[in-house]
Structure 1
Amino acid sequence: MLNSLRSIVQEVNAARDLASALNIIVQRVKAVMATEVCSAYLRDGKGQYVLMATDGLNANAVGHVSLALGEGLVGYVAQREEPINLELATAHPKYQYFEATGEERYSSFLGVPIIHQRQVLGVLVLQQVERRRFDEGEEAFMVTMSAQLAGVIAHAEATGVLKAMGQNAQEARFKGVAGSPGVAIGKVVVMSPAADLRGVPFHPCEDVDKELVFFHQCLELARQDIKSLGKQLEKRLNAQERALFDAYLSMLDDASLGGEVTERIRAGVSAAYAWSEVILEHERNFSSMTDTYLRERAADVRDLGRRVLAYLQESNQQCRVFPEHAVLVGEELTASMLGEVPKDRLAGLVSVQGSSNSHVAILARAMGVPTVMGAVDLPFTQISDRDIIVDGYRGMLYTDPSATLRKHYEAICAEEQELVRGLEALRDLPCETLDRHRVPLWVNTGLMADVVRSLERGAEGVGLYRTEIPFLLRDRFPSEEEQRLIYREQLEAFAPHTVTMRTLDVGGDKSLSYFPIEEENPFLGWRGIRVTLDHPEIFLAQVRAMLKASEGLHNMRIMLPMVSSVSELEAAKTLIYRAFHELLEEGFHLELPPIGVMIEVPAAVYQARELAARSDFLSVGSNDLTQYLLAVDRNNPRVADLYQPFHPAVLRALHQVVRDGHSQGVSVGICGELAGDPAAAVLLMAMGYDVLSMNATNLPKVKKVIRSISLEQAEQLLDEVMAQEDEASINRCLERSLGSGLTRLVGISLESEASS
């Protein structure tokens, strides 16, 4: 059964469209289950479950028979969201006969819901003339099959909405996760890593003859590479291994892969897209084979595909021109991809992978670029050069928007611009409540580009300087002197304001190419302070660079990430003291900077009192703390909805940390993304946080909300919020208390839902 399941899923993955995928499903499942009918019903835009494919019922009924939720046995399966297994279907009170299907002969019935992201997409049905109840193993297989196929069907269904690859295009709507607030209206630019076969965007071919010449030139370059490689390794390989290079060359012939690609180019598709389609189809075919030797040839096909694709993409990369309002779309966007786009042309970002707390989303918020993450059903390779609307408030995307929808979002953009102009006037005003309670607003930075933006928006200090960024931008560890120059530049730019420098924080979703950390569960593995304590030579060089950079300025604090015990804090402090005294002996005139701890793991929450007694300050990293408290990978779009910063458990932990820190007489700040949420900022202020540190983009919004409320009102709101039992109730409470006038600013919701 397992081999059959794997084989069917692979075949469905290889299908060119939704209709083909459904036909494969019903035919293959019918054969594996040795039954007489297999049918697939899918939910349409009106909530009806329509017969979309069948092997056994009347084929003319496809597309014409539909049932509402709860109607008939199929609608009943969808309503119950669980299988229904009947020996005699006609005896069930929900049975409904449809003459068009010709199903009157069939007695047995097994219906299984197809569920994707808590939504019933459809129902998979088996029927048989003979009266029998499908056994537990058969039912379990069908449940497993529907679970495996749900994502594939959802993606194929979404792809099918975008008809004719840009011809007769119609508006399509896709759901993701809000990554950075705002609205962007622009043109799609598909971004993908070099030679990524699954990320090649669709482009039509305007000049077939020219494209064919280009394709064969690239094939010839790849042939030369393979011949050269074969000669280099000739003396080190046996005859059987050398034959692999001959096989590669033969695959490039017009009678093989080259011929298939030529046909697709002649049909009007670009060479790169045609090549990727052909290679992926052959890779899937090899992967589905039962013979081990043949199955392993899939890797050879993939390797060959990448070699040729690199040549096909090279000229395209060199002549890439970004439109005036470019919306970057990719499977997994990176910081380097953002750097390719001229600043004045970047309008929005869309990433298929990741969540609102992925680092690219954090960077987007710092840049003020509307972003949607985790758009898992978006067929991103097929929307290149299409018009798109990015709704970063609700995590919605609209391709080929109608004139009505575009007008609606243009009005929102105009309102945003008006709001920004109003916020700019607050720059030089203090961040204080109506009853004069002062709240310092600091910023999170990592690049020199952040400095000007931060100071322009009234930042009073730096609550988090991400020192790992200079490490991430190099192909080796930066030297002590290189680090000193970078840190000095930051400290001088913000002087006399305080700059909080976090020591190297790598691991998890931040990896260095020259210092790889391969782990099955990186977020619970070797990261943060654990890495630097295991490599004191790296830690000492960084601390020495920080201390040297602070000479004469005295505006630096050192912050330690991912501390989970008092012993880790003591070990790190010992190394800092050592570096400090060494530099004094070398003649530097230094003051020992304040040393603080980031509260990011539950263990630190429950030891906040002890950590505070041994520190000069505490600072909560709410992104990781929320992730660990809720056991939710913040980069995983499958569980993005479960990452809830306003979860009661998170708010109680935040409240406990500030109480325990203050009990030891130390300052307690927060530097996670939560601090930049205007509604959360009100609660954090009421809890007693001494410093709120955020991305520069959100600073004016937070100041606006704090200046519109009194501390007494904020404390009353906190009391009401802390009495709630779930995040939905907390959000309603915040929206009601802060007033509709601040709804857009706070980012809880839009005033009206856009129609599609």
Structure 2
Amino acid sequence: MQVYNGKSVFGGIAIGKISVYQKKEQQVKRVKVEDPDQEMARYGKAKAEGIRQLQGLYDKALKEVGEANAAIFEVHQMMMEDDGYNESVENIVRSQGVNAEYAVATTGDNYAQMFSAMDDDYMRERAADVRDISERLLTILNGEDTGSVDADEPKIIVAEDLAPSETVQLDKDKVLSFVTVKGSLNSHTAILARTMAIPALVNTSMTLDSVMDGKLGIVDGASGTFYVDPDEKTLEEMKKRQEEDLSRKQLLQTLKGKDNVTLDGQKVMLYANIGNIKDLATVIQNDAGGIGLFRSEFIYLEKEDFPTEEEQFQIYRQVAQTMAGKRVIIRTLDIGADKQCDYFHMEHEENPALGCRAIRICLTRPEIFKTQLRALFRASVFGRIAIMYPMITSVQEVRQIKKIVEEVKQELTSQGVEFGNPEQGIMIETPAAAIISDNLAKEVDFFSIGTNDLSQYTMAIDRQNPQLDPFFDPHHPAVLRMISMVVENAHKAGIWAGICGELGADQSLTKEFLAMGVDELSVSPGSILPLRKIILETNVGEYKAGKEC
């Protein structure tokens, strides 16, 4: 038995035969050509075919994993049409009189190295995207079929790495799991795997070996462990855990329709976090009481230009109508840091996490902010919409927002446009906001604590830097004290306070949050029923008494 450790992308246990997937090595030779114009015509045809293939992948991904996750293939199309990339290819072909294959391979390597050297994590991930489109162009130029991961029966796919285009082509009925030697938790492939609910490991400490092919394997998504040719004891233990997982999932289904009330009568709102309207089905399927975080920035990230008021209105209205009177909290755009839109033309920042992002963009570019607010207020007629403002650090910012909101309402009134009166709240994501939450509570209808950024800013640790993992403590006392203080200050002012960050789904903290008096937990749809089970089985009074002993 061989045991390897990797980083878990998605939990669960997969047991089955291993299929080793090895990409065909692209053999690129530097060949002199007599007619550069003819060579560029070859390249033009290859590029057109590549864009056609990427559109097909986009259409497939749109049906299976939603618009936000399919957007990567739109990005790949844009990269394939990028002026800089294409000018580099043409320059090499014409100035050196060489074949298109060599020009594409050289350009791809140069661009990938450029992205890999960047400080920003998001931009470093783009190196893989450049390699992906370059590999696609080389395959087409060589007259070969684009590779895909095939399996004649359900198998565990093992690979050096998997490009997003390869991942989206996986037949979910034939793939139990995948394990890659390379890759990161923030890659598009990892995001797609989570959405497709495939147990997966990346960055696994193993050497890809064809000897594995056909052997029995086990992927333990909980511990990030990959077993090859397991012994009987390990196999029996994992089969038992797999059965327990299935039974647990079936048992959780019996909790649908039940109120989120503790044994001693404390009620909690259990809401869902989503990125786009394609996720609404999973929200309903998992019996969420509402939407606690609709990440509106994905509307912007999926566009090549600013979304219009009408485009946004149609999306917000659809969410409100689908949720049929349940609260839908929509966060205003949170662009910046690791989420960049080219058409915003943001200036380069040495530390974008501390730069112009979220509400700072809205307050410095009010025309963008007003367009979104108009759409939100119009859509609030069709359901119970609430608006949430991110990255607040001061009372002054909230008052600036209120002033702009009043201007929007006056504009709509003067134009005879109907609008509602949505609740307005803020995210508590900075230590500054937590410390002055008593003052902020007087200005808004609710708080939602974004524990991801709050933890990062409190501990001064970049959560996306794996080298700092030993120093990052998600249960740090300072973070928990801030959450408790924010909840207490909210209640003193007569408003409610929830959590919409990753800590909200941390089942080891659920009872602690109940003891603090947290009113709402907004989590990924799949975490709703497991949290409901804990809530229904908890006596908060007894838990508090036990802590004091």
Give TM-score scaled by structure 2 length: 0.74
1:458 equivalent in structure 2: 287
Q: Which amino acid aligns with 2:319?
A: Q
Contact 1:566 1:610 in 2 (8 A): yes
Deviation at 1:705, TM superposition (A): 1.2
- Mapped partners of 2:464, 2:160: distance in 1: 15
| Closer/same/farther in 2, CA of residues 421 and 477 from structure 1, 3 Å limit | same
- Mapped partners of 2:260, 2:207: distance in 1: 44
Deviation at 1:385, TM superposition (A): 7.0
1:312 equivalent in structure 2: 139
Q: 2:98 aligns with which of 239, 249, 252?
A: 249
Q: Which amino acid aligns with 1:584?
A: T
Show CA shifts across 1:624-648 (max 9, x none).
1112112221222222343322122
- Mapped partners of 2:331, 2:306: distance in 1: 17
| Closer/same/farther in 2, CA of residues 577 and 452 from structure 1, 3 Å limit | same
Q: Which amino acid aligns with 1:570?
A: R
SS of corresponding position for 1:598: strand
Q: Which amino acid aligns with 1:311?
A: L
1:672 equivalent in structure 2: 501
Of 222-231 and 406-415, more deviation after overlay is shown by: 222-231
Deviation at 1:248, TM superposition (A): 6.6
Show CA shifts across 1:432-453 (max 9, x none).
1112222121111122332222
Correspondences of 1:581-592 after superposition (within 5 Å)? 581-592=410-421
- Mapped partners of 1:629, 1:666: distance in 2: 24
- Mapped partners of 1:344, 1:629: distance in 2: 43
Correspondences of 1:383-394 after superposition (within 5 Å)? 389-394=218-223
Bigger RCO (CA 8 Å, 6+ sep): 2
SS of corresponding position for 1:539: helix
| Closer/same/farther in 2, CA of residues 509 and 183 from structure 1, 3 Å limit | farther
What's the RMSD between the two structures over aligned residues? 4.3
- Mapped partners of 1:476, 1:692: distance in 2: 34
| Closer/same/farther in 2, CA of residues 440 and 568 from structure 1, 3 Å limit | same
SS of corresponding position for 1:249: coil
| Closer/same/farther in 2, CA of residues 320 and 231 from structure 1, 3 Å limit | closer
Show CA shifts across 1:210-268 (max 9, x none).
x98xx78x979999689539999xxxxxxxx989856573998xxxx99xxxxxxxxxx
Q: 1:539 aligns with which of 348, 363, 369?
A: 369
Deviation at 1:459, TM superposition (A): 0.8
- Mapped partners of 1:383, 1:653: distance in 2: 52
- Mapped partners of 2:166, 2:296: distance in 1: 21
2:431 equivalent in structure 1: 602
- Mapped partners of 1:382, 1:245: distance in 2: 41
SS of corresponding position for 2:426: strand
2:83 equivalent in structure 1: none
| Closer/same/farther in 2, CA of residues 524 and 330 from structure 1, 3 Å limit | farther
Correspondences of 1:281-680 after superposition (within 5 Å)? 310-312=137-139, 318=146, 320-323=148-151, 324-325=154-155, 339-342=168-171, 344=173, 347-348=176-177, 352=182, 354-355=184-185, 368-372=197-201, 375=203, 377=205, 389-398=218-227, 405-515=234-344, 517=346, 518-553=348-383, 555-680=384-509
Contact 2:264 2:540 in 1 (8 A): yes
- Mapped partners of 2:351, 2:169: distance in 1: 31
Correspondences of 1:42-53 after superposition (within 5 Å)? none
Contact 2:18 2:212 in 1 (8 A): yes
Are 1:699 and 2:511 an aligned pair? no
- Mapped partners of 1:519, 1:399: distance in 2: 45
| Closer/same/farther in 2, CA of residues 481 and 427 from structure 1, 3 Å limit | same
2:87 equivalent in structure 1: none
- Mapped partners of 1:304, 1:666: distance in 2: 50
Of 464-473 and 243-252, more deviation after overlay is shown by: 243-252
- Mapped partners of 2:247, 2:32: distance in 1: 57
Show CA shifts across 1:248-305 (max 9, x none).
73998xxxx99xxxxxxxxxxxxx9xx99xx98xx99xxxxxxxxxxxxxxxxxx999
Deviation at 1:708, TM superposition (A): 1.3
Q: 2:5 aligns with which of 155, 174, 179?
A: 174
Show CA shifts across 1:440-469 (max 9, x none).
211111223322222222211111011112
| Closer/same/farther in 2, CA of residues 227 and 456 from structure 1, 3 Å limit | closer
- Mapped partners of 1:415, 1:332: distance in 2: 30
- Mapped partners of 1:305, 1:423: distance in 2: 40
- Mapped partners of 2:257, 2:484: distance in 1: 30
Q: Which amino acid aligns with 2:219?
A: V
SS of corresponding position for 1:484: helix
- Mapped partners of 2:360, 2:212: distance in 1: 43
Of 322-331 and 484-493, more deviation after overlay is shown by: 322-331
| Closer/same/farther in 2, CA of residues 230 and 679 from structure 1, 3 Å limit | closer
| Closer/same/farther in 2, CA of residues 507 and 717 from structure 1, 3 Å limit | farther
Q: Which amino acid aligns with 2:529?
A: P
1:228 equivalent in structure 2: 40
SS of corresponding position for 1:679: coil
2:22 equivalent in structure 1: 202
- Mapped partners of 2:528, 2:335: distance in 1: 27
- Mapped partners of 2:275, 2:11: distance in 1: 21
Deviation at 1:567, TM superposition (A): 2.0
Correspondences of 1:158-173 after superposition (within 5 Å)? 171-173=2-4
- Mapped partners of 1:668, 1:689: distance in 2: 6
Q: Which amino acid aligns with 1:588?
A: V
Contact 1:503 1:558 in 2 (8 A): yes
| Closer/same/farther in 2, CA of residues 643 and 719 from structure 1, 3 Å limit | farther
SS of corresponding position for 1:442: strand
Deviation at 1:189, TM superposition (A): 8.7
Deviation at 1:557, TM superposition (A): 0.5
Count of residue correspondences: 479
Q: Which amino acid aligns with 1:710?
A: N
Name the larger-Rg structure.
Answer: 1
Contact 1:580 1:592 in 2 (8 A): no
Q: Which amino acid aligns with 2:508?
A: A
Deviation at 1:480, TM superposition (A): 1.5
| Closer/same/farther in 2, CA of residues 571 and 242 from structure 1, 3 Å limit | closer
- Mapped partners of 1:567, 1:222: distance in 2: 68
Show CA shifts across 1:551-575 (max 9, x none).
243x000001111222222222222
Q: Which amino acid aligns with 1:422?
A: L
Give the fraction of aligned pairs with identical amino acids, expressed as a percent: 31
Contact 2:167 2:192 in 1 (8 A): no
Contact 1:366 1:696 in 2 (8 A): no
Give TM-score scaled by structure 1 length: 0.55
- Mapped partners of 1:180, 1:304: distance in 2: 25
- Mapped partners of 1:339, 1:251: distance in 2: 28
Contact 1:184 1:348 in 2 (8 A): yes
Deviation at 1:430, TM superposition (A): 1.4
Of 479-488 and 316-325, more deviation after overlay is shown by: 316-325
2:73 equivalent in structure 1: none
